[in-house]
Structure 1
Amino acid sequence: MNAVLCARDLRMTYGRGTGLVTALSGVDLEVAQGETVAVMGPSGCGKSTLLQLMGGLQRPSGGEVWVAGRPLTGMSERKLARLRRDAIGFVFQSFHLMDELTAVENVELPALLAGRSSARARSRAQALLEQVGLAEQAGRLPADLSGGERQRVAVARALSNEPLAVLADEPTGNLDSASTADVLRLLDALRSDGQTQVIVTHDARVAAAADRLISMRDGVFVEETRLSHGSGGLLSGLAGWGSER
């Protein structure tokens, strides 16, 4: 299987009996290397559940997921954790930073857990913080950063291990236009190097910068559009932001 991320007949239900809730109902998705897919839809339509299943954070009620050709079905929790650590970068809507660690320590943590040397992990973390405009905030704790700054630290952390794919849940949701531009430039540069990205967003301008836009409703895909924006990549969605936000 050539796709970096692949789902077949993906289903997810919660609860039992009359309390049964269907979050996903027979979703199929393939995402190629270097491709950016944006997913939009109303709250509760299954967008975040899709990301969690594609990244192995939850196990589906039915269907299958493959990451880099490896099926997640039947994979042990230990192997699943290793695959998430090495192959997937997550950006959560609520940041999930370690409160007791500084910005640079948060960013380098995944690389340290993967067994990389402290010098290499620190160098990569510092470079990523510089790319998202936070080099001068490297020694600050999350509590001393604004919401937008914490989100940029979270994006940098997701990229620490140079993952095959980034799964991002509203990665620019708490950012002003300038910070959004910084984050999208970084993601765009990484995509140019062959990284795969799936971005859940409510911002039509972010979605318009993807290669494909998928609209969801009630746990299913209702529309898919292949977008064309030349070689501008994610940056093509930034035109005119400064005066609008």
Structure 2
Amino acid sequence: MSGSALLRARGVTRWYGRGSALVRAVDEVDLEVPAGQTLAVMGPSGCGKSTLLHLLGGLQRPTDGEIWLAGHRIDTMSERALARLRRQHIGFVFQSFHLMDELTAVENVELAALLAGQSPRRARRRALDLLDRVGLADRARHLPSALSGGQRQRVAIARALSNEPLIVLADEPTGNLDSAATLEVLRLFEDLRTAGQTLVVVTHDARIAAIADRMISMRDGAFADDSRFAGAGNGSAAGTGTIYGGWR
């Protein structure tokens, strides 16, 4: 496989159960994602796309196969190293936002940076800058309960960017949003794509394809189709990054 890919998977499988109850959630998937590419993984509920995203982000371990990020194999890492990897180099965006209800928007965004060891002053400055970037500077001191669904998802995206991650992995990011809020989030993802942020978005929403360089369709745990669009990212927009410190 190409050494220039930021994210690589080879023969990745995730099976549950055994015998007649065996479920092939992800079935021998091969994947390369160059830096700077926006990839949409689409398919119906239960096709394995969310499981694949969790495997790529180190939230689950594969039954078999290899997963590499920026030249480092991550599926064999210790739990402590995986936790460090997720804190420092991967941004996650989830369908249900996963914001802390008792924290304000700016506190939610800066929390990831604080956990990664940034100073409080730097984390707060970065959080305010990101909230401004996603159009929520005037909502920085609001609790999640005072924000709309689209605003909460934009806070979650700002949080995912707080540590300048190598890659952002989004799991059904528009699944709980109405049409207007979905358009807000899609515009934000388009801005991230233009800026060269590497994105992998799993969804059943065809509108995601409008902001993608490439779209993979999944069925029964495997890739059914792989389409690349004109001007697709090929790694020139951003480097693969340097990962400092021990991962093991």
Higher relative contact order (CA 8 A, sep 6+): 2
Q: CA deviation at 1:205?
A: 2.1
Question: What residue number does 2:76 align with?
Answer: 74
User: What SS class does the counterpart of residue 4 from structure 1 fall into?
Assistant: strand
Q: Which residue is equivalent to 2:8?
A: 6
Aligned residue for 1:194? 196
- Asked if the contact 1:169/1:201 (under 8 Å) is kept, the reply is yes
Answer yes or no: is 1:60 the counterpart of 2:70: no
Aligned to 1:235: none
Give % identity: 68
Partner residue of 1:121 out of 116, 120, 123: 123
Matches within 5 A, 1:77-88: 77-88=79-90
Separation (CA, whole Å) in 2 of partners of 1:182 and 1:146: 12
Report if aligned partners of 2:105, 2:144 keep a CA contact under 8 Å in 1. Answer: yes
Amino acid at match of 2:212: A
CA pair 144-132 structure 1, distance change in 2 beyond 3 A:
same
**TM-score, reference length from structure 2:** 0.86
Counterparts in 2 of 1:190 and 1:209: CA distance versus 1, 3 Å: closer
- Alignment equivalent of 2:135, drawn from 133, 136, 143: 133
Instruction: Report how many aligned residue pairs link the two structures.
Output: 231
Q: 1:56–1:66: structure 2 CA closer, same or farther, 3 Å change rule? A: same
Q: Distance in 1 between matches of 2:166 and 2:74?
A: 16
Corresponding residue for residue 147 of structure 2: 145
Does the aligned pair in 2 maintain the 1:155–1:171 contact within 8 Å? no
Aligned to 2:213: 211
**Cα distance change of structure 1 residues 181 and 147 upon mapping to structure 2, 3 Å threshold:** closer
1:30 partner SS: strand
DSSP 3-state at the match of 1:208:
helix
Cα distance, 1:131 vs structure 2: 2.1
Aligned counterparts of 1:176 and 1:66: Cα–Cα separation in 2: 35
Measure how far apart 1:74 and its partner are.
2.0
Structure 1 portions without partners, runs of 5+: 232-245
Q: Encode CA deviations 1:108-154: one digit per residue, 9 max, x unaligned.
A: 11111111111111111112212222222211222222222221111
The match for 1:159 is 161
> Which letter maps to 1:130?
D
Helix, strand or coil at the partner of 2:28: strand
Match in the other structure for 2:30: 28
Superposed CA deviations along residues 12-63 of structure 1, whole A, max 9, x for unmatched, are 0112333221101011110001001101100000010010000000000011
Deviation, 1:178, is 5.1
In 1, the alpha carbon distance for the partners of 2:232 and 2:161 equals 25
Is the CA contact (8 Å cut-off) linking 2:113 and 2:162 kept in structure 1?
yes
TM-score by length of 1: 0.87
